[in-house]
Structure 1
Amino acid sequence: MRTLHCCSLPAPWVMLSVGLGCGMMLAQSASAAPSTGSGFTWQNTQESTTQWGLGAGIGYHQSPYDGVGAKYSPLPLLYFDDKWLHFFANQLDVKVGRWDTFSVSLRARYALGDGYKGSDAPILSDMQTRKGALWLGPTVAWQTAVGRLSVDYLLAGNKGQKAEIELSKDFNYGHFSVEPHIAAAWLSGSNVDYYYGVKQDEARPGREAYTATASYNLSAGTRFGYRFTEHQSISFDLGVTRLGSGITDSPLVSETWQPEAKLAYLYHF
């Protein structure tokens, strides 16, 4: 796969516009998709139903930082969905409204596992600690017979901005489900520089100063699900991300590909 360079790809607002256009074309072509109405309706006009669940999961991902290796993250899970809110794991969506198969929400997501401490690896020694961030911003989605196309644009203060467009399709076979998904993400220069840059006062022999630039990541994977009973289900998500050149050019980074996996059990009440 060829490396993506920032100068050859559109700005994030163009990315969002492309997602909007693709979604409209998908909605028009997917005549089998159900329609909930002919115009935009605010969420306060929707019928109210509540679903919730509790569970536990574990995540694995390969750190891109040289010498850090794989990380395993246990995670208690809470699922909640009603007229206004959808919450699962580390993400909360506040529902705004719908237009046929098109929905608008406001998203809050805490990035688990982002950042590092200087003690994590020799290459990071004497580096200032980089912390995770709470990301906030709008998200839109289109649910059609062709697939679910979603686009979000999130901000995290001095940790920058990022935008992502994802296409997924769910296939159900009795108690089993399979959902392949592909995505492209844009990370702003300030975001990449915060996590992968090296300040002048952090430079050492073998770790030169580095000011990172905006980057595009590509990812693909498949989610597998199995429902044991009406109330119990398990899911397994396996994927890989190809990091952009703004990240891989950093002297802190030794990996271009980031494999990851998530295993979760959920009890639905």
Structure 2
Amino acid sequence: MKKTPLLVRQILLAVVSIALSFGTAWADDNGTDQNDAENSGLTILNNATNVTHWGLGAGVGFGESPYSGYGTKVVPFPLVTFDNKWVHVQATTVDVKIGSWSGVSLALRGYYSLRDGYNQSDAPILNGMEDRKGAFWYGPALAWHTAYGTVSGSYLLGGNKGERARIDYSKAFDIGDFSITPHVGVEWLSSDYVDYYYGVRPSEARPGRPAYTGTATWNTSVGTSVVYRLTKQQRIALNVGVSHLGNGITDSPLVGKRFIPEISIGYNYQFR
């Protein structure tokens, strides 16, 4: 099988990062307020008008990998967003909207992870390892919108690559043409997930890289997104954050970092 070039994978990773970080702020400006009375109940039964919002943009992202010697990249990328009554799309994430009740929205999520995995040529520590691939993840996703902020969560399955569950809290503050959104999150990763992406099989062990069986772990993250409204349709967004990796990951001989910083900046034009 032909390997995905490292630069291409870095670009795709950056697309996902900025889309997930900024999507909520842009969606809110488009008027997709889940608390509207007409949106209450099952999506298939409610009276909400099927209005489509979509936009195009571009940006640049900076990120690190937890794998030792992997290095960092600064890459440009395109950005596409789409939202209507039935679905919400951000990069490789698609939410099919099931319904909304008193500020609580439920969706069925499909997500292809481009963040995960590696080719053995990506770093010296990975030489001789079998390539690890991304996975398609699927499962329910919830969001609870209140005056005190938004709590969101998901539980996703990825076949033989395990399970992952995440909960996030964010609160937007509007100051003139700026929207500032601090956010914090916790993610649980199953032992199958950690073992696949960070484990070392006996056949892959060598001096300096002993065999390792991954265990379930928790990652935490914190950051802030800042969106500046140039006009009614144009946005510039900056996201700064850092993730703390759990022991199940950092105990792996492949990993050389516990804290993973992320910085992204992007521009988005909303056509509708």
- TM-score after normalising by structure 2: 0.83
Distance 1:103 1:176 in 2: 26
Contact 1:63 1:71 in 2 (8 A): no
Please tell me whether residue 211 in structure 1 is matched to residue 220 in structure 2.
no
Structure 2 equivalent of residue 148 of structure 1: 150
Structure 2 equivalent of residue 76 of structure 1: 78
Structure 1 equivalent of residue 188 of structure 2: 186
Distance 1:146 1:212 in 2: 37
SS in 2 for 1:195: helix
Residues 34 and 113 from structure 1, CA distance in 2 versus in 1: closer, same or farther, beyond 3 angstroms?
closer
The alignment yields a C-alpha RMSD, in angstroms, of 1.8
1:40 shift after superposition: 6.0
Distance 1:84 1:38 in 2: 14
Residues 35 and 261 from structure 1, CA distance in 2 versus in 1: closer, same or farther, beyond 3 angstroms?
closer
Structure 2 equivalent of residue 250 of structure 1: 252
1:140 shift after superposition: 0.5
Distance 2:83 2:37 in 1: 22
Distance 2:168 2:89 in 1: 19
Work out the percentage of aligned pairs sharing the same amino acid.
51
1:163-186 Cα deviation digits (max 9, x unpaired):
000000011112111000000000
Number of residue pairs aligned between Structure 1 and Structure 2: 237
Contact 1:76 1:89 in 2 (8 A): no
Supply the AA of the counterpart residue of 1:252: L
Distance 1:235 1:36 in 2: 26
Residues 232 and 40 from structure 1, CA distance in 2 versus in 1: closer, same or farther, beyond 3 angstroms?
closer
Supply the AA of the counterpart residue of 1:157: G
Distance 2:74 2:116 in 1: 13
Supply the AA of the counterpart residue of 2:42: W
Supply the AA of the counterpart residue of 2:245: L
1:36 shift after superposition: 4.3
Please tell me whether residue 241 in structure 1 is matched to residue 246 in structure 2.
no
Residues 75 and 103 from structure 1, CA distance in 2 versus in 1: closer, same or farther, beyond 3 angstroms?
same
1:263 shift after superposition: 1.6
1:120 shift after superposition: 1.2
Distance 1:190 1:112 in 2: 18
Please tell me whether residue 43 in structure 1 is matched to residue 68 in structure 2.
no
Distance 1:157 1:57 in 2: 32
Residues 34 and 127 from structure 1, CA distance in 2 versus in 1: closer, same or farther, beyond 3 angstroms?
closer
Residues 35 and 256 from structure 1, CA distance in 2 versus in 1: closer, same or farther, beyond 3 angstroms?
closer
**1:24-103 mapped onto 2 (5 Å cutoff):** 36=36, 41-44=41-44, 45=46, 46-103=48-105
1:144 shift after superposition: 0.4
Distance 1:119 1:148 in 2: 41
Distance 1:160 1:171 in 2: 36
Moved more, 42-51 or 210-219: 42-51
1:228 shift after superposition: 0.7
Contact 2:34 2:100 in 1 (8 A): no
Structure 2 spans left out of the alignment, 5+ residues: 1-32
**1:136-175 mapped onto 2 (5 Å cutoff):** 136-175=138-177
1:90 shift after superposition: 2.3
Distance 1:106 1:238 in 2: 28
Distance 2:50 2:38 in 1: 20
Structure 1 equivalent of residue 129 of structure 2: 127
1:24-75 Cα deviation digits (max 9, x unpaired):
xxxxxxxxx9954599611121222111111112322211111112134533
SS in 2 for 1:209: coil
Supply the AA of the counterpart residue of 1:205: P
- TM-score after normalising by structure 1: 0.84
Structure 1 spans left out of the alignment, 5+ residues: 1-32
